[in-house]
A and B are shown apart, each in its own frame.
Chain A
Amino acid sequence: MSITILNFLIGLGIAFFGFVLQTSIAGLNRKIVGRLQKRVGPRWYQEFLDIFKLLSKRATSHGWIFDFGVIMALGGIIATAMFMPLTSTFNAFGTYDNFFIFVYLLAVGMLGMAMSASGSGNPWASIGVMRALTTMLAYEVPFMIIILTIIKIAGSSLTGIQLYQQAAGNNWFLIALPLGGIVGFISLMGMLGKKPFETYIAPAEIASGPMVEYGGKQLGMLFIMHEITVFIEVSLFVHLFLGGATNIFIFILKYFLVYTLANLISNVNGRFKIDQVVTFFYKWPLILAIVQAFIAIYLGWVI
């Protein structure tokens, strides 16, 4: 499969589309949450305003590692988004959308941010990074066990997984592997850093964790990175558990539903302590994941 500049541009288009989609849906969600709390709530494009306001401000920098980390983070996340297939037919790099690329290129983004956060010299940032890594350790293992079952059944390329679910006779993995769907959603909440697992950006406790020293354009770039990360994670969930999409509108619909559900759950929850997060994920989600994997692989009951 020859890779040309066109593929790169398509990939960039996907990344940009992901950013725009996620930012507007985030705006809508802030509106919905506002209405939930019986208040008017911001305009739908408020997220865009925030980001461009940040990019227009003059920030402070703590040395070259502080800036290089942010660039590496945003670069890594854009690279991951370029691989993301939007629908089962449309993606930038053909059959190279291997699942492990997403998990590990995401880790490059995390590493970049962690590096620049602890390079900023603020103890809050280091504590925030420590909490982010510990939460990652918590939600990643159950999620990967479920991914193991899915890959065992449908191969490790995302388009392959989508096509498997869309093929006649097979239905979405959310239905085929019910426990897997639940664990996947809980891990998604962990990945997105939604309220029960928001220990690493806890504004009350550690002054927004790793972001404490960022202002102006670095913070703007990190917001862009956060939006694209959310896009990647939610669209991963859509492709893995909700059977991907044949055309773009179904994809946007499923995307919106998943993100809003996650957001609503997030807004009614308190916040875990960091070791509660670890013990939580290693209790029920892990057990469910193991049971699901056992049933799906060894007993072969895939509904």
Chain B
Amino acid sequence: MKSTKFTPERNISKAETDRKWWEIGDFFRRNSLWLLMYCTGCCAIELPPAMTSAYDMERLGMGPMATPRQADILLVSGYLSLKTLRRLIYTYEQMSEPRYVVALGSCPINGGIYHDSHAVINQLDQYVPVDVYVAGCMPNTEAVMNGFVDLMEQIKNKSANGWKKYHDNYEWYRQNQIQSLGEVDVHDEFHD
């Protein structure tokens, strides 16, 4: 004999509740993005104006963070030499999920002015999934801020899943890294 009190049908499946939680999480993640400023190249000079009174990224909830463990965004600003890329991959793997990569400048896109150099890689998203590219050989601050807002949009409509891509086809990325860099985890005489 079913009780007469009104009990709603429990038809929300577990995946459903998870997705609901994930959306709420997205709202928080969107509104409090922490940057790990991996200032590899010359585009890093665009960041101070982004933080100070002119553009003030803090009103978007964004702020600089000291260590990869605490950061959400890995901000690649400028060209990536082989040695820097190895450290970048190591740091990327240390960040806590979900994590995003924002690449400033044209160097991560196609090698930029260093496209023909033996030391600089030409396309960043072969090695690390990049969510937002901000083109320009040194994009001005407004472009950078737009890039961040685009990232927020992507998080909102759940398309900023570079980190999931990194999980799923980790082998492909790994193979690319080995092909270009030889080996990621290097030993040298000072740190052994």
B61 cross-chain contacts in A, Cβ below 8 A: 42-43, 46, 49-50
With both beta carbons as reference points, the residue of chain A lying nearest to B94 in the complex is identified as A60
Q: Given known contacts A39-B52, A39-B58, is B96 in contact with A56 (CB within 8 Å)?
A: no
Q: Given known contacts A38-B53, A213-B69, A215-B69, is B29 in contact with A30 (CB within 8 Å)?
A: no
A203 cross-chain contacts in B, Cβ below 8 A: 66
Interchain pairs with CB closer than 8 A, number: 85
Whether a CB of chain B sits under 8 angstroms from the CB of A271 is no
B32 A53 Cβ-Cβ under 8 A: yes
A214 B58 Cβ-Cβ under 8 A: no
With both beta carbons as reference points, the residue of chain B lying nearest to A201 in the complex is identified as B66
A52 cross-chain contacts in B, Cβ below 8 A: 28
B53 A212 Cβ-Cβ under 8 A: no
B28 cross-chain contacts in A, Cβ below 8 A: 49, 52-53, 56
Whether a CB of chain A sits under 8 angstroms from the CB of B70 is yes
Whether a CB of chain B sits under 8 angstroms from the CB of A250 is no
State how many residues of chain B have any CB contact under 8 Å with chain A.
26
Partner of B69, one of A30, A34, A39, A60: A60
- Which residues 34-57 of A have a CB within 8 angstroms of B? 34, 37-43, 46, 49-50, 52-53, 56-57
Whether a CB of chain B sits under 8 angstroms from the CB of A59 is yes
Whether a CB of chain B sits under 8 angstroms from the CB of A155 is no
Q: Given known contacts A53-B32, A216-B96, is B59 in contact with A41 (CB within 8 Å)?
A: yes
A208 CA to B71 CA, complexed, in Å: 12
Partner of B58, one of A34, A204, A212: A34
| Nearest-Cβ distance from residue B151 to partner chain A, whole angstroms | 14
A216 cross-chain contacts in B, Cβ below 8 A: 96
Whether a CB of chain A sits under 8 angstroms from the CB of B56 is yes
Whether a CB of chain A sits under 8 angstroms from the CB of B97 is yes
Q: Which of B24, B66, B72, B97 has the most CB of A within 10 A?
A: B66
A56 cross-chain contacts in B, Cβ below 8 A: 21, 24-25, 28-29
A38 CA to B54 CA, complexed, in Å: 9
Whether a CB of chain A sits under 8 angstroms from the CB of B98 is yes
A30 B96 Cβ-Cβ under 8 A: no
B66 A39 Cβ-Cβ under 8 A: no
Partner of A59, one of B53, B67, B96: B96
Partner of B70, one of A41, A49, A204, A215: A215
| Nearest-Cβ distance from residue A294 to partner chain B, whole angstroms | 44
A57 B98 Cβ-Cβ under 8 A: yes
Whether a CB of chain B sits under 8 angstroms from the CB of A219 is yes
Whether a CB of chain B sits under 8 angstroms from the CB of A211 is yes
Whether a CB of chain A sits under 8 angstroms from the CB of B161 is no
Whether a CB of chain B sits under 8 angstroms from the CB of A283 is no
With both beta carbons as reference points, the residue of chain A lying nearest to B99 in the complex is identified as A57
Partner of A57, one of B21, B24, B52, B96: B96
| Nearest-Cβ distance from residue A35 to partner chain B, whole angstroms | 10
Q: Which of B58, B61, B97 has the most CB of A within 10 A?
A: B58
A144 CA to B32 CA, complexed, in Å: 39
Whether a CB of chain A sits under 8 angstroms from the CB of B31 is yes
Q: Sample 22 A-B pairs with CB under 8 A, ordered by A number.
A: A34-B58, A34-B59, A37-B53, A39-B54, A39-B56, A41-B58, A42-B59, A42-B61, A46-B32, A49-B61, A56-B24, A57-B29, A57-B97, A58-B97, A58-B98, A207-B67, A211-B67, A211-B70, A213-B67, A214-B70, A215-B95, A219-B69
**Chain B residues close to A by CB (< 8 Å):** 21, 24-25, 28-29, 31-32, 34, 52-54, 56, 58-59, 61, 65-67, 69-70, 72, 94-98
Closest 5 CB pairs of A and B: A215-B69, A56-B25, A215-B96, A39-B53, A39-B56
